[in-house]
Structure 1
Amino acid sequence: MAETTRETMEYDVVIVGAGPAGLSAAIRLKQLDADLNVVVLEKGSEVGAHILSGAVLDPSGLNALIPDWKEKGAPLNVPVKKDNFYMLGESGQLRIPNIAMPPLMNNHGNYIVSMGNICRWMAEQAEELGVEIFPGMACSELVFGDNGEVKGVVAGEFGKNPDGTEGPGYEPGMELHGKYVFLSEGVRGSLSKQVIAKYNLSDGHDVQKYGLGMKEIWEIDPAKHREGTVTHTMGWPLGGNAGGGSFIYHLENNQVYVGFVVHLNYKNPHLFPYMEFQKFKHHPMVADLLKGGKRVAYGARAITEGGYQSMPKLTFPGGALLGCSAGMVNVPRIKGNHNAMLSGIAAAEAAFAAFKDGRQSDELTDYEVAVREGDIGADLKKVRNVKPLWSKYGLLASLAVGGMDMWTNTFGFSLLGTLKHGKSDADATEEASKHKVIDYPKPDGTLSFDRLTNVSFSFTNHEESQPAHLQLTDPSVPVDVNLAKYAGPSARYCPAGVYEFVHEEGKDTRFVINFQNCVHCKTCDIKDPSQNITWTTPQGGDGPNYPNM
C-alpha cells in the first residue's frame, strides 16, 4: 500500500482543541509576541460545538488572561447569588448549612455560564490577535520527528470507507508541524492517551479517576426561576451504589442547567447512570421545579476526578498536556475551567521563554513547575483526599473526614497526607453474579426521557459511510467476556445508547455499535471492564452540536 502523501504547514505552536485551555494558550502566546504563528485545530463543527460543562465559572483564569473581559463583552452575565447544598432522601431533603462548608466551596464571585459560549467569545478574541482557528478539523494522528519528539499532527482526513480504505472522495488531510504541540483535547483525549502511554507520563503518579456528567437545559415556569441560584445535591437516588451527585443552576431567560454526575468507579455492572439521572428528576424537589417546563438540550461528558495525585507528567519532547487532558478538576468544587485557562497561560509563557532562548521541540519543564507549584497545584492539593475517601469509605466519610481535611488544608496542612485512589475505574467493575439487578422505572416522557429521544437533543450527527470511530481490540470480547461475566455493561454505561446486544432466536448474540449516536463522552474508553474499546476521532465536524452548553 502506497504511503499517503500530505501537504505540510509550519507553525510556531500547534494547539489541538479549542476549549478553555487551548484558546487561553493561543491568546497568551499572541499577547506575548504578535509575530508568533499559532494555529488551533478543533474537531467540532464550530468552536463550542463539543464543549459541555456545568458550569459555574471561577473567573480567576479569565482575570489573568483578559483582565478587561467585562468591557470586551465576555458572556459572564449571571453572578451566583445563592448557594444551596442538600442531602436527598427518596421523598425529602436535608439542607447542609453553608457555614459548615469549607471556604473554598463558596461560590461568591463566580458566574453561571455556558462554557460553549465562553469559548466562542474567546475564539473571537484569539482571531482578533491573529490566531488561526480551524473548526471541523479532527486530529487523527501524531507526527514524530527524527529524535522521537512530537512535531505535529495530521488533521482534516476525510472520505474513508467503513473498512478503512480510501473512498472515491478521499482527502488525506494535512500535516501541521509546530516547534511545540499543545494537546488540549479535554478528558481522555485520543492523542493525549497515546502520548501518555508512549512517554510513560503516568509513571510515578496515581491512576486517573473519572465521572460521567450528564446535563439537560430546561426552560421553566418564570414563577419558579431564581436567576443566580446554585444548588448541589448528594445521596438519593445513588445511595451506596455509586458516588456522585447533581447540580441545578439558574441562568438567565428562565433557563436552568440540570446535571447529574456518576463516579465511574462503581462496582455493580447493572448500574445504569443515565437512568439514575432520569430517576433523580422525579425527586419531589426537582419535579416541582421542572413541572410545566420543557427540556431544550441534552449532552454528556466524562470528567477527570483523580486530581492532584493523578496528574501525569505534563510535558513530553515537543509539547505539553493542557487542562483536562491532564486532569485539573477540583472535584468538591466541580470546577476545572479556571485551571484549564491557567494551564494554557502557563504553557504559553513557557513556550515563549523557550523561543527567546532559541529552543524548540524540547520539554517545557518551566510549565510543569508552574502548574504544580502555582495556583493550579495549590487549588488541587487542598482537596486531594476527598475523592479517595469517597471511593473507599462512602459519602458520609467523605463529607465528614474529607470536609475536615479541606478545612485543615485551608491553613496549609493535612493530617491525612496524600491518599491513593487504588483501582482504575475499569478494574473497579465487579462480576454481575456478585450484584443484584437494579430495576429502573420507565421514563414518563415529561420529566424523564429515553436515551435515544434525549440524544436527538444533542444534535449529534456522524457521516455513516466512514469507519466506526469506536474500535474494538478483540471483537469477541463484548459477548464472550463482557456479556458473560459482567452482563454487558456497555449497554448501560453509555449515555447515548451506542452499544447494544442483539439477541435473535436461533442465532448467536451480536454486539452492535451505533457510532452515529456517540456524543464523544469517552465513558466506554474509560469504563469498559476489559479495556477493549478505544475511542478515536471521527471525521472533523461530526459529533454533537451543543447549543449553549
Structure 2
Amino acid sequence: MERESMEFDVVIIGAGPAGLAAACRFMQISRDSEHPLSVCVVEKGADIGSHILSGALLETSALDELFNDWKEMNVPLDAAVTTDEFHWLSANGSKTIPHSFVPASMANNGNHMVSAGNLCRWLAEQAEALGAEIFPGFAAKELLLDDEQDCVCGVIIGDMGLDKQGNAKDSFVPGMELRAKYTIFAEGCRGHLGKQLIKHYHLDNGKSPQHYGIGFKEVWRVPAEQHRVGKVIHTGGWPLTQATGGGFIYHMDNQLVAVGLIVDLNYRNPHLSPFDEFQRFKTHPLLANLLEGGERIGYGARAISKGGFNSLPKMSFPGGLLIGCDAGTLNFAKIKGIHTAMKSGMLAAETVCEAFMKGVEGGKDLNCFAERMEHSWLHEELHSARNFGPALHRFGNLLGGMFNYIEQSWFGGNFPLTLRDDKADYRCLGKAADFDKIDYPAPDGKLTFDRLSSIYLCNISHDEDQPNHLKLRDKTIPITSNLPLFDEPAQRYCPAGVYEIVTSADKTEFVINAQNCIHCKTCDIKDPAQNICWTTPEGGSGPNYTGM
C-alpha cells in the first residue's frame, strides 16, 4: 500500500511522562544551542493523558531538573504529603508499622500526590510551547525498518476505518509513515513495539526477564469528616495471602481519596482474580470505614513493569532508544516511576542531541546512552533497588519485606549481594487441579463492584466494527489447553471482562470482548501459553481517564 510520509529529526512514541519529558528536553536543547530540531510526539489515546493511570506520588527530582522554576509554572500537583503510614493488615485488623521498621526507600516526605494524566497534559503544553508537535489519537502500529542497515527509521501509524474483517469502510484512511533520524519509544509498560524491538535486537540478553504487577485504582469522594488531606497509607498483608503486592490510600485535595492494590503477576494459583482481590481489599475496616457514605467516581487498571535494574534491557539500538516503563525504569522500592521515566527521557534527548551536534548520522546505535545513564542518579537509584522485587518473590511479603528493610535502611541499597528472579511471571502459574478455588463474595454495589460497572467509569471509546487488536497465535489453545490445565485464567486476570468462556449445548467457546479493553496489557503478560498478543487498536480507542 502506498502511504504518505512525514519526516522529522525525532519521533517519540507515547505521550506519557518519559516521552513528554524527552520532547521538552529536546526543544530546550534546540533553543539553547540554536540548533533547529523537528520533534513529533504521537499518542494512541484520544487525548493527552487519557491512557495515563498511576497512583500516584511524585518525587520532583526530575521535574526540578527539567524546569527549575516549576513552582511558578502552575504544575497541576495535588496535596503535599503530610502524614506517611505503613499498615500490615490481617483479615479484620491492622497494625501500624513504626517508621523505624519501614524500608527507608518508601519514605514520602517532600513528595506530592498527583494525577499522572493531568501532569502529562501540563508537560504536553510545555513541549508544544517549546516547539514540539504532538498528535494524540494516532496509534503507532508497525516499525519502519531499513533492512539493509537493520536500523529503525520510524513507524507506521495504524490505518483508520477498517471493518472487523480488515476491509476498508467508507471512512478508510491509510496510516502515514512517520520517518525519523531517531525514534524514541516511550509506550509505557509492555509496549507492543518495544516488545518487538527487544526481541529483534536481543536487548535483554543476559538480563532477568521483566517482572510485572497489575495495579488497580479507584478514586472516591468521601465525607469531609473522614478525609485527611495529605495523608498517605501503604499496606501489606491481607488480602494477598496467595500473591505478593500491597495497597495504597492517598488523601488528595477536595475530599478525594485514591485507593488501590498492586498484585504481582507471578502468582501461582490460576483461580486467583486480581480484580476480586482489589474489591475484597476495600472490605477491610481500614478502607470500609473511610469509604462509607462516599461515591466512587473513577476506576482503572494497568500493568506495571517492576523488574527494575536486573531486568533493564539495553536501551539503545540502531536508530532509536527505549525509555521509561517501555524499558522498565520504575523504582519498585519507592513504588514510584514518574520521576525515573522522566529522567530516562531527558537522558535520551541529551544523548541524541549530542550525536546531532557531533554530526552523527541517523540510524546509528547510540551506545553512549549507556554511559550517560551509568553516570546519572537514575542508574544509582535503580541499582540500589535491584533486590527489592526479587526478595519479595523469593521470600514473600513478610520475610521479603524484612530483607528489604535491612538492605534499604541499614545498607542504603548497597547490600553486598544481588538477588535475581529468572523465572518469567507466566511460567509461575500452577495447574488448576493443584489449587483450591477461591470463593470471592458477590459485589454489593456500594463498596464492591463488578467488572462491567467498573469499566463504565473508564469512559471507553471503541468502534466494535474494527479488527480485533487482541491476537491469538493459536485459536485452539484457550479451549484445548488453557481451559483443562488452568481453568482458562484469562477470564480472571483480565480486569475488564474482555475474556469469557461461553458454553452452550453443543460447544464451548473462548469469547473476546475487545470493546471492553482498557489497555492494561495483563493478558499479554500472564497468559500461560503466551498465546495472546496485545496490539494497538484504531487510534483514539480505549479508556478516556480523567484525573487518574
Q: Same fold per TM (> 0.5)?
A: yes
Q: Is the 8 A contact 1:461 1:517 kept in 2?
A: no
Q: Is the 8 A contact 1:382 1:409 kept in 2?
A: no
Distance apart, 1:368 and its partner CA? 1.9
Q: Is the 8 A contact 2:78 2:115 kept in 1?
A: no
Unpaired segments ≥5 residues, structure 1: none
Instruction: Tell me the matched-pair count.
Output: 542
Give 4+ residue runs of structure 1 displaced > 6 Å after superposition: none
CA distance in 2 between partners of 1:86 and 1:77 (Å) = 23
- After TM superposition, list the pairs within 5 Å mapping 1:83-98 onto structure 2: 83-98=84-99
Unpaired segments ≥5 residues, structure 2: none
- After TM superposition, list the pairs within 5 Å mapping 1:44-443 onto structure 2: 44-145=45-146, 146-239=148-241, 241-359=242-360, 360-410=362-412, 413-415=414-416, 417-443=417-443
Deviations 1:199-224 (A, max 9, x none): 01011111100000010000000111
Matched to 1:476, the amino acid is: T
CA distance in 2 between partners of 1:318 and 1:353 (Å) = 15
CA distance in 2 between partners of 1:481 and 1:438 (Å) = 21
Distance apart, 1:304 and its partner CA? 0.6
Deviations 1:379-426 (A, max 9, x none): 11112112111112211111111211223441x6313x1111121111
Give the corresponding residue for 1:492.
Answer: 492
CA distance in 1 between partners of 2:399 and 2:166 (Å) = 50
- After TM superposition, list the pairs within 5 Å mapping 1:412-491 onto structure 2: 413-415=414-416, 417-491=417-491
CA distance in 2 between partners of 1:375 and 1:267 (Å) = 35
CA distance in 2 between partners of 1:299 and 1:372 (Å) = 34
Matched to 1:337, the amino acid is: I
Give the corresponding residue for 1:37.
Answer: 38
Give the corresponding residue for 1:519.
Answer: 518
Give the 3-state SS of the residue equivalent to 1:70 in structure 2.
helix
Deviations 1:88-112 (A, max 9, x none): 0011101111122233221011100
Distance apart, 1:15 and its partner CA? 0.1
Give the corresponding residue for 1:538.
Answer: 537
CA distance in 2 between partners of 1:103 and 1:242 (Å) = 23
Q: Is the 8 A contact 2:86 2:102 kept in 1?
A: no
Query: What TM-score do the two structures reach when normalised by structure 2?
Result: 0.98
Moved more, 339-348 or 372-381: 372-381
Q: Is the 8 A contact 1:78 1:228 kept in 2?
A: yes
Give the 3-state SS of the residue equivalent to 1:246 in structure 2.
strand
Give the corresponding residue for 2:18.
Answer: 21
CA distance in 1 between partners of 2:544 and 2:221 (Å) = 19
Give the corresponding residue for 2:547.
Answer: 548
Q: Is the 8 A contact 1:136 1:156 kept in 2?
A: no
CA distance in 1 between partners of 2:78 and 2:332 (Å) = 24
CA distance in 1 between partners of 2:494 and 2:111 (Å) = 32
Query: Identical aligned pairs, as a percentage?
Result: 49
CA distance in 1 between partners of 2:107 and 2:203 (Å) = 34
Distance apart, 1:226 and its partner CA? 0.7
Q: What is the RMSD computed on CA atoms of the aligned residues?
A: 1.0
Q: Is the 8 A contact 1:385 1:419 kept in 2?
A: yes
Give the 3-state SS of the residue equivalent to 2:11 in structure 1.
strand
Q: Is the 8 A contact 2:40 2:133 kept in 1?
A: yes
CA distance in 2 between partners of 1:409 and 1:374 (Å) = 20
Distance apart, 1:165 and its partner CA? 3.0
Give the 3-state SS of the residue equivalent to 1:313 in structure 2.
coil
CA distance in 2 between partners of 1:529 and 1:420 (Å) = 21
CA distance in 2 between partners of 1:215 and 1:413 (Å) = 32
Deviations 1:170-217 (A, max 9, x none): 211110111100000000001100100100101111110000001000
Distance apart, 1:16 and its partner CA? 0.2
CA distance in 1 between partners of 2:528 and 2:23 (Å) = 38
CA distance in 2 between partners of 1:413 and 1:534 (Å) = 38
Distance apart, 1:164 and its partner CA? 2.2
Give the 3-state SS of the residue equivalent to 1:394 in structure 2.
helix
Deviations 1:480-499 (A, max 9, x none): 11101000100000000000
CA distance in 1 between partners of 2:266 and 2:67 (Å) = 38
Distance apart, 1:78 and its partner CA? 1.3
Q: Is the 8 A contact 1:265 1:424 kept in 2?
A: yes
CA distance in 1 between partners of 2:420 and 2:202 (Å) = 19
Distance apart, 1:333 and its partner CA? 1.4
